[in-house]
Chain A
Amino acid sequence: MRNYLKLDATMRCDVLIIGAGGAALRCAAEILEQKPNANVVALTKVSHPQKSHTSTAQGGLAAVDPKDPLDSTLFHMFDTWKGSDCTADQNVVKKICESAWEQILWLENRGMHFSRDPQGRLSKRTFGGHTRNFGEASVHRAVFEADRTGKGIMDTGWGETLKRGITFINQCLAVELLIKNGACSGCIVFRQKEGTFVKILAKATIFASGGSGQVFQVTTNCRQNTGDGLALVLQSGLPVMDPEAVQFHPTGIVGPGILASETLRSVGGILRNAAFEPFMVNYAPKMKELAPRDLVARAIESEIREGRGVMNPDHNIPHVWIDLRHLPAEVHEKQIPEVSSFFKRYVNLDPKTDLCPVRPSNHYHMGGIPTNEYGEVEDASQNIIEGLYAIGECAAASFHGFNRLGTNSILELITMGKLVADRVVAAIEKGPSHNPESDGKRFIERFSGYLQAGKKDSLGLIRSSLRRIMTENVSVFRTEKGIEEAIQILSELKVRAENTALAGRSLAMNQELVQRWELDNLLAVSMVICQAALDRKESRGAHFRDDYPDRKDEYNHHTLISMIDFGITESGRREVDMSIFKAGGEQHEKFAIIERKY
């Protein structure tokens, strides 16, 4: 078959942002505020920036109000360090926590509709892990916009960038990074609507491409979260950091995986198995349903594995029940109205009278593209890749280590977005980029391969098999045997995918073609998750090895993993930054390697 793919055009800009979610928009707005004439281009896979995943974040964002006499930035830093199971980088933790409130005021002054207290000031609430005096008592640290905090950030960021003349290219995929001699000159993109490939050259390229939740069968993440950023980096021979650090929420609604908040358990919801037995008492006799997230998730998964789960026939997904029937009507109406409405809307059940199906749902990827504290991307030897940055969920600086605290992610978007903007503005002011241009030809081979494959199969079914094995073997419980089996299956699926013929060969808005490309990304990301999880023979934060249930000091480091060829990986390590501890200031001992116990 004739090789008919070609580069259709070349474009130049100052700054290219791969993504238009919360991190991307905050960064773009800052660049444009500081440098109004900058030519900033932001790409999104979705039909409009507002459709990005950040729009679904509900709960809030953590930030210590300097006016609050009870709370302090140091406490926020401690909670983050402890929550991370001592694997966050303290230089990053310090930077983010210290700049948090300033960024809240930025949002407030650009029109975000924060919820208000009776005095008309920003209202605050508490979340799991928000404490004062190093774990002594809970504090109100999260500001929020009702249950639409992420949407508030998105509307604000979109409005500001629109006002300042950004160029959005929607439904446009970054498909190949242009890297040569340790420097990045931009990327090749695929414009879905037109079906064209365009080379975009930029002085600075910023990854802000979000999470990878579609690796798992049940996830709270959106359909576009296929880990593209990580896959692109791997294809360029660069490493990803801590891919094995994946967070699961204990109660996702079956089958879509929609988040059913912790509140359900805190107001007295009871988890029951197929025989309707309340099982939490067998796992956490004292705390029962109120035990920490990861423990509850493992308890539910154990019930399912040991055959005490229930199979949902419509979605073909096993689950347990959450029983809310005994709660007074007032609790249903006043305390859990939103979640109740989710059950009604998505599974047609009334929590007042029906048992509701839940199971652990993939939620957040702590791991990502390794960067330093300025968001500059690093290679396996920790040299900076000139002109390349990463922020948001796709990046690992690392603020969250092996376990993210609720409300810390969207805080990271706005703080790191701003920090990286400062860095980028300084870099582009230095004048034209001298980063050597690389050709960017791999995409032709890759996409031609997709269009030329000739075997009858179903990409959808291959994707389902991938997501199922990752959920069954590499989610809340991991064992050597299970991970090895997953690696074997992934290799088989890779071969199947390579041979699968597409039903349509058109380039314009060919969703199947895009999904074929995404499948390659899912396969690559799954593979490095597996390899890293296999190598880490301990349990830490969200990474739980059934065969090595304890944390071990010999693993007090980040994983760096590169992929030489599919399934052939190379591992390295990066030290955890402990600068707060080492500085020896007041209370520095709280930032030593401590136990994560609540």
Chain B
Amino acid sequence: MMESFYDITLNVHRYDPDTDKRWIDTYQVKAGRIMRFVDVLRKVNDEQDATLAWGSSCEHGQCGSCSMKINGKPLLSCELLVENAVHYFDTTTFTIEPLDVAPVIRDLVIDTDKAYGRVDKVKPYIIKPKPLGEKGEEHQISPEELERYVDATRCINCFCCASACISSHHNFLGPNAMLAAIVRVMDPREQEKQSRFDTLYSENGIYRCHSSQACSFVCPKEIDVAHFIALAKNGEIKPA
């Protein structure tokens, strides 16, 4: 019979914007085996400390709001079950920190607007759309062509990859921003390619990547981010 409860210890990094103070609080929680970390944090709020701030929204891995670092690994806390965490990290003590991709607002909540600012820079939309067919019908994009880049469209901007990336976000727009640019280079409906290449090959672009593949390793959507960046480096992202 598996354990049905675990006594876990959380060491949570706190920050108070009113006093600009940083500290670590420790919470002991009796947690059910299939509770997710978002459930555990809610339990802490309900039963021990209502002031602990953290973010989430859909709580099933589709929105990327609950990213945080647990024992150093950037991940979605809605996808981490207590039982799996105990086995994966081989401990019942967990250090929880905010992602380090933007300034902290309070506790585990970061200024996501700042992180997104880097994605906005690559223009995550079609700049110059190819006109629809003569009779106004949809474009023709074969499933094979879509298949080349569809994985890159699955990114939810959780910024886990950006947090894991060894290249600093001060001079690199980041793996997810690169993906967003690559998608529109590979998308046959986008007619404006040159300015996209300019962004990709700029000094904040893909040459900042050291091919460590940390991004692919942590991506909760299991997107092989580094693969797409490598394609771009090799000039293999032109539409078919």
Contact = CB atoms under 8 A, between A and B. Distances in A.
B46 interface: yes
A118 interface: yes
A222 B125 contact: no
Contacts of A231: none
B42 A51 contact: no
Chain B CB count within 10 A is highest, among A47, A315, A506, for A47
Given A258-B60, A346-B81, A461-B46, A315 B157 contact: no
A509 interface: yes
A118 B146 CA distance: 11
B51 A105 contact: no
B82 to A, nearest CB: 9
A48 interface: yes
Nearest to A509: B106
Given A120-B143, A163-B125, A506-B18, A464 B109 contact: no
Interface string B61-82: 1111100000000000011010
A342 interface: yes
Contact of A110 (B45, B125, B150): B125
Interface stretch (A154-162, A261-269, A321-329, A530-538): A154-162
Contact of B36 (A56, A115, A170, A256): A256
A342 B59 CA distance: 12
A513 to B, nearest CB: 10
B56 to A, nearest CB: 6
B123 A193 contact: no
Interface in A496-515: 502-504, 506, 508-512
Contacts of A53: 57-58
A120 B141 contact: yes
B76 to A, nearest CB: 10
B171 interface: no
B65 A47 contact: yes
A582 B238 CA distance: 56
Contact of A56 (B46, B63, B139): B63
A116 B125 contact: no
Nearest to B146: A116
B138 A509 contact: no
Contacts of A104: 138
B34 A111 contact: no
A558 interface: no
Nearest to B51: A504
B49 interface: yes
Contact of B140 (A115, A119, A511): A119
Contacts of A48: 112-113, 116, 157
B124 A509 contact: no
A141 interface: no
B126 interface: yes
B50 interface: yes
B189 interface: yes
B153 interface: yes
A222 B46 CA distance: 18
Interface in A512-538: 512
Contacts of B61: 345
A46 interface: yes
A170 B142 CA distance: 37
A132 B16 CA distance: 60
B220 to A, nearest CB: 10
Interface residues of A, number: 66
Given A111-B125, A170-B113, A348 B81 contact: yes
A348 B63 contact: no
Contacts of B79: 345-346
A104 to B, nearest CB: 8
A460 interface: yes
Contact of A111 (B4, B42, B145, B189): B189
A113 B140 contact: no
State the main secondary structure of chain A at its contact with B: loop
Interface in A28-78: 46-48, 50-53, 55-56, 67
A256 B117 CA distance: 32
Interface in B1-16: 4, 16
B65 A46 contact: yes
A148 B4 contact: no
A224 interface: yes
A199 to B, nearest CB: 22
B17 A113 contact: no
Given A111-B125, A348-B83, A120 B113 contact: no
A458 B64 contact: no
Nearest to B149: A113
A121 interface: yes
A455 interface: no
Interface in B154-203: 154, 156-157, 184, 187, 189-190
Contacts of B35: 314-315
A503 B25 CA distance: 16
B172 to A, nearest CB: 20
Interface stretch (B89-97, B129-137, B205-213, B227-235): B129-137
A510 B53 CA distance: 7
B105 interface: yes
A110 B18 contact: no
A-B CB proximity, top 7 nearest: A314-B32, A159-B125, A460-B46, A120-B140, A47-B112, A509-B106, A504-B51
Given A52-B57, A506-B18, 15 more contacts: A51-B65, A56-B58, A110-B129, A120-B145, A146-B150, A155-B153, A222-B63, A224-B57, A255-B34, A255-B39, A314-B34, A346-B81, A503-B49, A509-B105, A511-B54
Interface of B: 4, 16-18, 32-36, 39, 42, 45-47, 49-51, 53-65, 78-79, 81, 83-84, 105-106, 109, 111-113, 116, 120, 123-127, 129, 132, 136-143, 145-146, 150, 153-154, 156-157, 184, 187, 189-190
16 contacts: A48-B116, A109-B139, A120-B143, A159-B125, A163-B123, A170-B113, A258-B60, A314-B33, A315-B35, A342-B60, A345-B61, A346-B34, A348-B84, A459-B46, A503-B49, A512-B45
